[in-house]
């Protein structure tokens, strides 16, 4: 990353689920809130997308919006399908489940595969395989997903911050 007078370019994070109306927009809102609470707004650019364009142009599912609002979050993203240029634009692309990760790997250029992450890998309990899809259930499924995303988002942000600090230390060490 190059620096300018405004500082380094923010780390760009894209959350991905199937239709971009349940899990990924909630993950986007949860992560943005966590970034804001830690005072890191200038360091992150956050968005979400779906592996499919089923709901392109639609707001998030009303249950997603309701659960977000209950927890003080504004879920205002508009559904879109992941684009080929997302693989170059974003620094990390975070799949909600292993199926999304497989689909993203199939589309992503080999040289950029290291950008692809799986949200459950950041589960603080380490037991999660997939963030479950709450679409066909009731509001309690959306609440469960919210709780999962809070824990995983903390783990993801901690990992990204740790990586940023390690990179800063490496570049600040004087070379002989």
In this predicted model, what pLDDT tens digit does every residue of 119-160 receive, in sequence order?
999 999 999 999 999 999 999 999 999 999 999 999 999 999
Domain 9-159, CATH 3.30.70.270 — does that match? no
**Cα–Cα distance, 111 to 103 (Å, whole number):** 16
Q: What is the 3-state secondary structure (H, E, C) of the chain?
A: CCEECCEECCEEEEEEECCCCCHHHHHHHHHHHHHHHCCCHHHEEEEEEECCCCCCCCECCHHHHHHHHHCCCCCCCECCECCCCHHHHCCEEEECCHHHHHHHHHHCCHHHHHHEEEHHHHCCCCCCCCCCCCCCCCHHHHHHHHHHHHHHHHHHHHHHHHHHHHHHHHHHCCCC
Q: Judging by DSSP bridges, how do beta strands 116-118 and 44-50 pair with one another?
A: unpaired
Start-to-end C-alpha separation, the chain = 22
Question: Among 80, 86, 63, 83, which residue's Cα sits nearest to residue 136?
Answer: 63
Residues known to be catalytic: 17, 23, 133
> What's the whole-model pTM score?
0.91
Q: What is the pLDDT of residue 163?
A: 86
**Both tokens assigned to 28:** 């986007």
Question: What are the residue boundaries of the structural domains of the chain, listed by start?
Answer: 9-159
**pLDDT, tens only, 41-94:** 999 999 999 999 999 999 999 999 999 999 999 999 999 999 999 999 999 999
Q: Does the structure show a pLDDT above 60 at 174?
A: no
């Amino acid at each position: 990353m190059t620096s300018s007078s405004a500082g380094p370019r923010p780390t760009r994070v894209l959350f991905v689920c199937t239709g971009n109306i349940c899990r990924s927009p909630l993950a986007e809102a949860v992560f943005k809130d966590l970034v804001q609470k830690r005072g890191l707004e200038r360091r992150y650019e956050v968005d979400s997308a779906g592996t499919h364009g089923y709901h392109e142009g639609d707001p998030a599912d009303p249950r997603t919006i309701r659960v977000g609002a209950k927890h003080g979050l504004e879920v205002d993203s508009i559904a879109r399908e992941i684009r080929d240029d997302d693989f170059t634009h974003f620094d990390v692309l975070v799949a909600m489940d292993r199926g999304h990760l497989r689909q993203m790997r199939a589309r992503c250029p080999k040289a950029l595969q290291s950008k692809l992450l799986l949200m459950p890998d950041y589960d603080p309990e380490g037991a999660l395989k997939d963030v479950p899809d709450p679409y066909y259930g009731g509001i309690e499924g959306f609440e469960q997903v919210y709780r999962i995303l809070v824990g995983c988002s903390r783990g993801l942000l901690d990992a990204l911050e740790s990586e940023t600090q390690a990179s800063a230390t490496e570049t600040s060490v004087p070379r002989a």
